Amino acid sequence: MNFWRNLEKPIIGLSPMDGVSDASFRFVTAKYGRPDVITTEFISVDGIAYGATNIFNDFIYHEIERPIVAQLFGIEPEYFYQGAQIVCELGFDGVDINMGCPAKTVARRGAGAGLIQNPTLAKEIIRATKRGVQDWFNDGLSKSINKKTLRELSAVKEKLDILGTKFDLEKRIIPVSVKTRIGYDRESVESWIPELLEESPANITVHGRTLKQMYQGEADWLALTKVGQIIAKHNENLDDEMTISYIANGDINSADVAIEKLQQSKADGLYIGRATYGNPWIFENIRQKLKSDEYIPVEKTLDERIKVALEHCDMHFRLNEPQGFVQMRKHLAWYLKGFPGAVKLRVDLMKSNSPDEVRQILSQHQISY
């Protein structure tokens, strides 16, 4: 089942962000922002193939995140084949291939945005991922998956069960999508995007920067508009069920900018990344603004932000062992951003190690919760 096709357009989704959009962040974003689609942080297919414990924790998700897509990265088609099968087995709604990560540790190996320079391998990876999904649907998990990976898979299933996530769904063929950039060291959408279209991924998401730009400068919305035209042309003569949807991405930080960029690019939707830091409400604001031009986006009060921050803390503490709380501190700072009176509170919260400590610090600052 291709959920991309059934989503109401425009699609406003949560962009994957390694080190940020973990299960607790996605839970809070789903609950208070209700994005139309959510993607996990990228997950290494090598780690999956070798059964690395820390990797498998990235597969934790909550039922309210649906439709939820697991994003994979790597370079070895056989590992994508196996990774796709694990994603199916865990009840995700889609599997996405990362062809956009610019980090040296990833791209220098030829993975992530490195694949933009190797379209032959990129296409082989899409085919292997689709084959993994199809073979899992026909025959179940492949015998090539090693025992350690199967043990980790069972452990994740137990955790999903505790969370009440319904991973054990009726078998279905989930869509394979790609997220990429506009080029490697220069914009090259006219050659790169048609290569991807040859393999008919269900959806293509494009971040409007090259690998070389990393996250510098502004996203190139002219290039993203060109991508929209290339994909629209490709779809022109196709039956509905063969068309490919397109999500544009880069620097969307308000409802007004979202509307402007949707109109400009003619994309089927947008992915929002950094503007969601401490701000799950951005999705609701964009949705309301799409419904009515008159709508003025709502700014949340400090009290409202603290309530959500605490819920985020509790979920984070529950899902990660206590030693993982350091990861939560940056989120606390983001929730309190823009409140000049909260500078000292922010500094104190940067030392917190648990939700209890966060509550104590709030009390010390005479903040009720």
Q: Rule CB under 6 A: is residue 105 a binding residue for ligand FMN?
A: no
Question: Residue 312 annotated as binding?
Answer: no
Q: Rule CB under 6 A: is residue 328 a binding residue for ligand FMN?
A: no
Rule CB under 6 A: choose which of 5, 18, 157, 232 binds ligand FMN. 18
Chain residue whose CB lies nearest ligand FMN: 273
Q: Rule CB under 6 A: is residue 71 a binding residue for ligand FMN?
A: yes
Question: Residue 269 annotated as binding?
Answer: no
Rule CB under 6 A: choose which of 2, 15, 243, 265 binds ligand FMN. 15
Burial tier of 327 (Cβ tally within 10 Å: 0-12, 13-18, 19+): middle
Q: Rule CB under 6 A: is residue 273 a binding residue for ligand FMN?
A: yes
Q: How far is the CB of 44 from ligand FMN (least distance, A)?
A: 11
Contacts to ligand FMN from residues 177-216, by CB under 6 A: 179, 207
Q: How far is the CB of 236 from ligand FMN (least distance, A)?
A: 27
Q: How far is the CB of 274 from ligand FMN (least distance, A)?
A: 4
Q: Between 93 and 348, name the residue whose CB sits nearer to ligand FMN.
A: 93
Q: What is the 3-state secondary structure (H, E, C) of the chain?
A: CCHHHHCCCCEEEECCCCCCCCHHHHHHHHHHHCCCEEEEEEEEHHHHHHCCHHHHHHHCCCHHHCCEEEEEECCCHHHHHHHHHHHHHCCCCEEEEEECCCCHHHHCCCCHHHHHHCHHHHHHHHHHHHHHHHHHHHHCCCCCCCHHHHHHHHHHHHHHHHHCCCCCCCCCCCCEEEEEEEECCCECHHHHHHHHHCCCCCEEEEEEEECCCCCCCCCCHHHHHHHHHHHHHHHHCCCHHHCCEEEEECCCCCHHHHHHHHHHHCCCEEEECHHHCCCCCHHHHHHHHHHCCCCCCCCCCHHHHHHHHHHHHHHHHHHCCHHHHHHHHHHHHHHCCCCHHHHHHHHHHCCCCCHHHHHHHHHHCCCCC
Instruction: Give the list of residues 6+ apart from residue 359 with CB closer than 8 angstroms, or none.
Output: 310, 369
Q: Rule CB under 6 A: is residue 251 a binding residue for ligand FMN?
A: yes
- 97/302 Cα distance (integer angstroms): 38
Q: Rule CB under 6 A: is residue 278 a binding residue for ligand FMN?
A: no
Active site residue: 20, 101, 230, 270, which one?
Answer: 101
> Applying CB under 6 A, which part among 87-95, 125-133, 146-154, 244-252 lies near ligand FMN?
244-252
> Applying CB under 6 A, which part among 98-106, 124-132, 238-246, 351-359 lies near ligand FMN?
98-106
Q: Rule CB under 6 A: is residue 66 a binding residue for ligand FMN?
A: no
Question: Residue 360 annotated as binding?
Answer: no
> Applying CB under 6 A, which part among 94-102, 121-129, 151-159, 345-353 lies near ligand FMN?
94-102
> Applying CB under 6 A, which part among 17-25, 84-92, 186-194, 346-354 lies near ligand FMN?
17-25
Amino acid at 305: R
Rule CB under 6 A: choose which of 34, 274, 346, 359 binds ligand FMN. 274
Q: Look up 313 and say whether it is catalytic.
A: no
Binding site for ligand FMN (CB under 6 A): 15-20, 41-42, 71, 98, 100-101, 179, 207, 249-252, 272-275
Residues belonging to the binding site for FMN are 71, 179, 207, 273-274
The residues that are catalytic are: 101
